[in-house]
Amino acid sequence: MHDRRIPEWLRHAPAPSVRGFALLAGTEAIARGILISVFPVVVYGVLQDARVVSEVYFLIGLASLLIGLLVPYAIRFIPRWWVYVCGALMFVTGALLAIAGSPYAVIAGLALTTFAVVTTFVCFNAYVLDHVARIELGRFETSRLFYSALGWTAGPALGAVLYSHWPPAPFLIAAAAALAMLTIFLVMRLGNGKLITKSRRAPTRPFAFIPRFFAQPRLVTGWLFAVIRSCGWWVYVVYLPIYALENGLGDRLGGIALSISNGALFLTPMMLRFMQWSSVRTAIRTGFLMAGALFLLAGAPHGLPMATVLLLMAGSFFLILLDVSAGLPFLLAVKPSERTEMSAIYSSFRDISGIATPGVAWLVLLAAPLSGVFAAGGAGLLAAWTLAGKLNPRLGQARISAEGAAPHPAPSAVPNAP
């Protein structure tokens, strides 16, 4: 008799929905998007040396890679939801630390926010694989990008403007967005995820799952797609603004170009329809081919800086198509019993691309102008296009076709960015 007085949502946790995960991704996009154009400026401001800045990013990237690979091991001893909560709180702490302005505080803030992103990303992917049916993965990826579009479109420009007027503002907004993300997570009551198999004993080695990853070619291929796609974004986000400055196009052009490119995230429902109409394989090959060709053209020595910028912006549109489609081969190949471990492997694409891109660019710049970095990025994207030719033409076809047969929600209601 007494349970009738208790609200249903308190007695039984609501089933996690695609919309809930999309909201979670959307608030994370606000927290990260508003700082993406601010942290490099702040770090350079306190260190005053581009080489030292590069070393700081490189070392933080290595540490972040290690932390991401250790998260599955930690989850064997610490509940997954606690790991996610700690990640969100690290983001809040890092954003607030950076306000202090001293070199050590800024570097610590950058490190904490970077570690927070990889920690929550591993847990988030594991929760998605627990609760989102495979038949809905294509719609989920599209919806996630669509819900994240505002944070990634307005965030970079807004962060730069606010920082120029009142430096603490973007960091306070990022901290508030991270707290909102944590609140949504707690309301969703995801717990520790679904238990598929219970091991009789804890693994003795924290990286024991890495050989299992390399033993599955489909997972390796899907991970390579993520790394190469992320390298394309690194080239665009980092080296386009430098190119604009070197060629007298102003210091705002890079930020404007990034905002315009990210505006294409609102077109992701149309990209999903294209993938439903063709196939996952066709969408991935189209994205890599067009992005690679446009980046190669941008790197050609034609002496027209504005043409280079426009070609790179056009190429970024196809990088967003890859954001929609190129993660699916990995997600569709993950075994249920390896969700957390393989989510950690997948999340490493951010750190690997963040280490590899500056390294390759440094080698290219020893013998070529800055435009050579764009050409190198194009060559990498075209290599991925060749690799994508080995994908099964029917990959995800039945699932995406079945999803397409159901009524598809309007863009404003889609429950799901770089």
pLDDT tens digit sequence for 140-167: 766 777 778 788 888 877 887 788 789 8
Model confidence, pTM: 0.69
The Cα–Cα gap between 155 and 176 comes to 14
Q: Is the pLDDT of residue 88 over 90?
A: yes
pLDDT tens digit sequence for 202-214: 444 556 677 878 8
Per-chain mean pLDDT for the chain:
77
Which domains occur in the chain, in start order? Answer: 13-194 (1.20.1250.20), 207-404 (1.20.1250.20)
- Supply 400's token pair: 């995406």
Contacts of 408 (CB under 8 A, 6+ apart): 139, 269, 273
pLDDT value of residue 232:
92
Which of residues 307 and 280 earns the better pLDDT score?
A: 307
The Cα–Cα gap between 112 and 107 comes to 9
Left (φ > 0), alpha (ψ -120 to 50) or beta: where does 368 sit?
A: beta
Q: What is the dihedral of CA 194, 197, 202, 207, to 10 degrees?
A: -80
pLDDT tens digit sequence for 209-267: 778 788 788 888 888 988 999 899 888 877 777 777 778 776 667 667 777 887 777 77
What pLDDT band is residue 342 in, cutting at 50, 70 and 90? confident
pLDDT value of residue 137:
63
The Cα–Cα gap between 171 and 264 comes to 26
Q: What is the DSSP letter of 337?
A: G
What pLDDT band is residue 293 in, cutting at 50, 70 and 90? very high
